[in-house]
């Protein structure tokens, strides 16, 4: 599908057009705080009732592992760009072995009949078992010893009813298979295994966020939040059962303690009353497979950032009365819906970030504000980032292109060589990845595209910080900074050590510094807050985590932010599914 842009830039100077886009995509700390408050409200609405936008799905996982778990399991991961089948061996010493095979899921499978999709999943497991015969005996299921136990990581909204069953609520991330919604996903899969007479039993169902949380806890010894920033975005955290009223009379509720809750935060503010929507976001949403759903996700995740960027670039290519980008030319990549992958943005920013070697006689005075201003860049200060925005190399701050400098031979000649070198590298990436002819891309285009990528990704990372901050606040591990706006942190001496409250709750006890139930690690007086993350965006997008932390600091202050330990939940979906399968077997599946 091709699309045209329809933003009117008449009666505006090119600089004003850029300024306006910059303004629309820039988030102030006060907005981040406001969003966090709205986020907290939705969290609690979702914990109270079924059927809310932010589904707050109880996972029936009632504690986090500590690394001592042992067993061998199959795991199947469906939820995004690839389908993975793995065999996971938990060694019981925080380490694991994993063998895996990836399989493509075609658009036809994603949008066809559910039984065809699930038959394909079963076929993939079958193919995996043929090419990877079990090396170590899998953990036995008590009543059916020769059947292999499998944990399913299914990363779509599901209303879980037990560790091993759950109803599909809706599809996201480009899936829309028919006759799936309202059905038990474990049954759909098991029926497919049974149709093929396979000796495999799906014993546990886990969301990838829950998997990230469990696997990070297994390998690091403590974790309270698992978060995904990949094709989509979502998070799961450890909540007090007493704070999940909708469990009502469920057996789990009467037992008390803690439970992992899958927030489905991608659906935060679906009504878009608070999210900073621009015309570009509206264009994306309107032409998406799920308009008006997954609003938060559409600002943040890998599936969408490239598309938002593409809409902005198209508007500049089509700008009237005169094109502002690529001489008005559009390639297939920028013209096709979803044509611009988020990884292109990463590459553009990496090209910009790379150190460029220049003649040392001019290099000496190239580190400072003066040079930033030289190309008309406007370094922005952000609370907690004092001084950091003065850095040139690795500088992560917005560079608003100055049209006058970039559009005249004299202006271009006045650019310092280092900046020119960086722009030239970006220009080459654009020629390669956007498939332009070399002569169609100028340094000005490079500056504009780099700035666009940066604005879109920076907004995504700041909004990601809102989600993490909300979980810290919800679990009493942080408080809003004093006035929520000026970036001042509450001095640590006066800050209420709210985290201690969590530790003492329900008489839980710390073992070797690790609280086995709440998943926090004590390190002297400081309580570390473990966060396990997964997804290509946070792994590969330059400075995504740094910007997310910047957002956290502006919402909850640097004390809380500095206690957050973000670590990769390596192979989270596989290891998480295995850990869940283990728990299912222990519960006498
Ligand atoms: P999934 O979420 O499907 O399990 P990933 O975590 O790999 O898979 O995320 C895939 C998404 O990440 C895609 O939307 C893709 O555009 C994006 N992506 C892939 N590589 C990069 C990269 N280098 N930088 C930023 N985003 C990337
Ligand atoms: Mg994934």
Q: What is the pLDDT of residues 444-497, one digit of tens each?
A: 999 999 999 999 999 999 999 999 999 999 999 999 996 544 444 433 333 333
Which numbered atom of ligand 1 lies nearest the CA of 341?
A: 16
Mutate which of 212, 226, 228, 230 for ligand 1? The one with the most ligand atoms within 8 Å of its CB, which is 230
Residue closest by Cα to atom 4 of ligand 1: 80
What is the reported pLDDT for 399?
A: 77
Q: Dig out the tokens for 199 from the structure.
A: 């000796």
Distance 236 CA to ligand 1 centre (A): 19
Residue nearest to atom 21 of ligand 1 (CA): 343
- Give the Cα separation of 313 and 446 in Å (integer): 11
Residue 34 Cα to ligand 1 midpoint, Å, equals: 29
Please indicate whether residue 303, judged by its CB atom, sits closer than 6 Å to ligand 1: yes
Ligand 1 pocket, residue 338 CB under 6 Å: no
**376: pLDDT strictly greater than 70:** no
Q: What is the pLDDT of residues 332-356, one digit of tens each?
A: 999 999 999 999 999 999 999 875 5
Does the pLDDT of residue 124 top 60, yes or no?
yes
Query: Is the CB–ligand 1 distance for residue 461 below 6 Å?
Result: no
**Most confident range, picked from 136-140, 277-281, 511-515:** 277-281
Site to probe by mutation for ligand 1, drawn from 104, 231, 345 as the one with most ligand atoms within 8 Å of Cβ, is 231
Q: 82-91 and 96-104: which strand pairing?
A: antiparallel
pTM of the model: 0.86
CA distance readout (Å), 454 to 53, 114, 544: 30, 38, 10
Q: What is the pLDDT of residue 394?
A: 39
Instruction: State yes or no: is 208 an active-site residue.
Output: yes
Q: Could you tell me if 173 and 80 are in contact, meaning their C-beta atoms sit under 8 angstroms apart?
A: yes
- Under the banding of pLDDT at 50, 70 and 90, the label for residue 158 is very high
Ligand 1 nearest-atom number relative to CA 82: 3
C-alpha 464/C-alpha 229 separation (Å) is 9
pLDDT in tens, 494-512: 333 333 333 333 333 333 3
Average pLDDT over residues 135-152: 81
81 CA: nearest ligand 1 atom: 3
Give the separation between CA 349 and CA 177, rounded to whole angstroms. 36
In this prediction, residue 9 has a pLDDT band, given cuts at 50, 70 and 90, of confident
Judged against a pLDDT cut of 90, whether residue 183 lies above it is answered with: yes
pLDDT of residue 360: 38
Q: Cα(392)–Cα(243) distance, rounded to whole angstroms?
A: 47
**Least confident window among 352-366, 427-441, 446-460:** 352-366
What are the tokens at 565? 């330990």
173 is catalytic: yes
pLDDT of residue 275 exceeding 70: yes
Span from the CA of 367 to the centroid of ligand 1 (angstroms): 33
Asked if residue 14 has its Cβ within 6 Å of ligand 1, the reply is no
Ligand 1 centroid to 231 CA: how many Å? 5
Mutate to test the pocket of ligand 1, among 306, 351, 456, 537 (most ligand atoms within 8 A of CB): 537
Quote the ligand 2 centre to 123 CA distance (angstroms): 20
Residue-averaged pLDDT of the chain: 85
Residue 257 Cα, ligand 1 centroid: separation in angstroms?
35
Catalytic residue among 77, 208, 281, 341: 208
Q: What percent of the chain has pLDDT over 70?
A: 83
The mean-pLDDT minimum among 81-90, 248-257, 425-434, 532-541 falls in 248-257
Q: Which residue in 66, 173, 298, 445 is the catalytic one?
A: 173
Ligand 2 centre to CA of 86 (Å) is 13
Please state the rounded mean pLDDT for residues 295-316. Answer: 98
The number of beta carbons lying within 10 Å of the beta carbon of residue 65 is: 27
Is ligand 1 within 6 A of the CB of residue 110? no
Tell me which residue has its CA closest to atom 20 in ligand 1. 343
How far apart are the two ends of the chain, measured CA to CA in Å?
48
The confidence score (pLDDT) of residue 482 equals 64
* Whole-number pLDDT of residue 465: 98
User: Which pLDDT value is given to residue 175?
Assistant: 94
pLDDT (0 to 100) of residue 492: 35
Average pLDDT over every residue of 198-227: 95
Average pLDDT over residues 377-403: 44
Expressed in angstroms and rounded, the spacing between residue 387 Cα and the centre of ligand 1 is 32
Check pocket membership of 536 for ligand 1, CB cut-off 6 A: yes
Contact 487 CB / ligand 1 (< 6 Å): no
Which listed ligand is nearest to 211 at the C-alpha?
2
- Name the least confident of 104-118, 167-181, 225-239, 347-361: 347-361
Q: What mean pLDDT do residues 307-320 have?
A: 96
Q: Which one has a higher pLDDT value, 430 or 374?
A: 430
Question: 537: Cβ below 6 Å to ligand 1?
Answer: yes
**For residues 70-81, average pLDDT:** 91
| Residue 230 near ligand 1, beta carbon < 6 Å | yes
Neighbours of 412 (CB within 10 A): 16
Indicate whether 398 pLDDT > 50.
no
- 28-37 pLDDT, tens digit per residue, is 999 999 999 9
Question: Which CB contacts under 8 angstroms, 24+ apart, belong to 428-437?
Answer: 428/351, 429/344, 429/347, 429/348, 429/351, 430/348, 433/333, 433/344, 433/347, 433/348, 434/331, 434/333, 434/334, 434/340, 434/344, 435/331, 435/332, 435/333, 436/326, 436/329, 436/331
Any atom of ligand 1 within 6 Å of the Cβ of 542? no
Helices H, strands E: what count in the chain? 22, 16
Ligand 1 contact via 231 beta carbon (within 6 Å): yes
Which ligand gives the minimal distance to the CA of 542? 1
Average pLDDT for 321-337? 97
C-alpha 223/C-alpha 529 separation (Å) is 7
Phi, psi of 160 (to 5 degrees): -75, 135
């Amino acid at each position: 599908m091709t699309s045209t842009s329809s933003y009117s830039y008449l009666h505006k100077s090119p600089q004003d057009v850029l300024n306006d886009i910059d303004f629309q995509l820039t988030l102030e700390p006060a907005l981040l705080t406001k969003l966090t408050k709205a986020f907290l409200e939705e969290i609690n609405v979702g914990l109270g009732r079924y059927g809310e936008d932010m589904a707050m799905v109880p996972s029936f996982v009632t504690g986090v592992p500590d690394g001592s778990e042992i067993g061998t399991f199959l795991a199947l991961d469906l939820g995004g760009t690839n389908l993975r089948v793995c065999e996971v061996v938990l060694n019981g010493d925080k380490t694991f072995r994993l063998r895996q095979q990836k399989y493509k899921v075609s658009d036809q499978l994603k949008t066809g009949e559910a039984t065809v999709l699930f038959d394909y999943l079963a076929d993939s497991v079958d193919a995996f078992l043929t090419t990877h015969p079990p090396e170590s005996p899998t953990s036995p299921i008590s009543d059916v010893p020769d059947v292999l136990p499998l944990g399913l990581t299914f990363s779509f909204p599901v209303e879980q009813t037990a560790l091993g069953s759950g109803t599909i609520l809706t599809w996201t991330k480009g899936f829309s298979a028919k006759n799936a919604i309202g059905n038990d996903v474990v049954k759909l899969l098991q029926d497919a295994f049974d149709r093929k007479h396979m000796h495999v039993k799906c014993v546990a169902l886990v969301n990838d966020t829950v998997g990230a949380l469990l696997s990070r806890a297994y390998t690091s010894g403590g974790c309270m939040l698992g978060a995904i920033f990949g094709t989509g975005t979502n998070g799961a955290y450890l909540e007090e059962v007493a704070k999940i009223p909708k469990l009502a009379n469920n057996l789990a509720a009467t037992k008390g303690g803690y439970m992992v809750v899958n927030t489905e935060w991608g659906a935060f503010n679906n009504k878009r009353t608070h999210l900073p929507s621009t015309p570009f976001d509206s264009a994306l949403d309107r032409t998406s497979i799920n308009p008006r759903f997954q609003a938060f996700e559409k600002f943040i995740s890998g599936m969408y950032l490239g598309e938002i960027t593409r809409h902005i670039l198209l508007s500049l290519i089509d700008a009237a009365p005169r094109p502002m980008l690529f001489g008005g030319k559009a390639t297939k990549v920028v013209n096709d819906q979803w044509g611009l992958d988020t990884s292109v943005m990463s590459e553009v920013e990496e090209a910009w970030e790379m150190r460029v070697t220049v003649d040392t006689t001019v290099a000496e005075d190239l580190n400072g504000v003066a040079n930033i201003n030289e190309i008309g860049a406007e370094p922005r200060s952000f609370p907690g980032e004092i001084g950091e925005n003065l850095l040139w190399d690795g500088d992560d701050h917005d560079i608003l292109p100055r049209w006058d400098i970039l559009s005249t031979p004299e202006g271009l000649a006045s650019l310092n060589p280092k900046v020119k070198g960086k722009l030239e590298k970006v220009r080459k990436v654009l020629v390669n990845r956007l498939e332009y002819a070399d002569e169609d891309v100028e340094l000005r285009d490079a500056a504009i595209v780099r700035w666009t990528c940066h604005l879109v990704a920076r907004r995504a990372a700041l909004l990601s910080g809102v989600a993490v901050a909300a979980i810290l606040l919800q679990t009493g591990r942080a408080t809003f900074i004093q006035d929520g706006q000026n970036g001042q942190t509450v001095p640590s001496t006066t800050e209420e050590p709210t985290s201690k409250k969590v530790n003492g709750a329900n008489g839980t006890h710390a073992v070797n510094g690790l609280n086995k139930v709440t998943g926090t690690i004590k390190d002297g007086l400081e309580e570390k807050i473990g966060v396990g993350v997964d997804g290509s965006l946070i792994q590969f997008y330059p400075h995504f985590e740094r910007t997310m932390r910047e957002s956290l600091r502006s919402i909850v202050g640097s004390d809380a932010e500095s206690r957050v330990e973000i670590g990769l939940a390596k192979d989270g979906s596989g290891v998480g599914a295995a850990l869940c399968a283990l728990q299912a077997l222990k519960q006498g599946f």
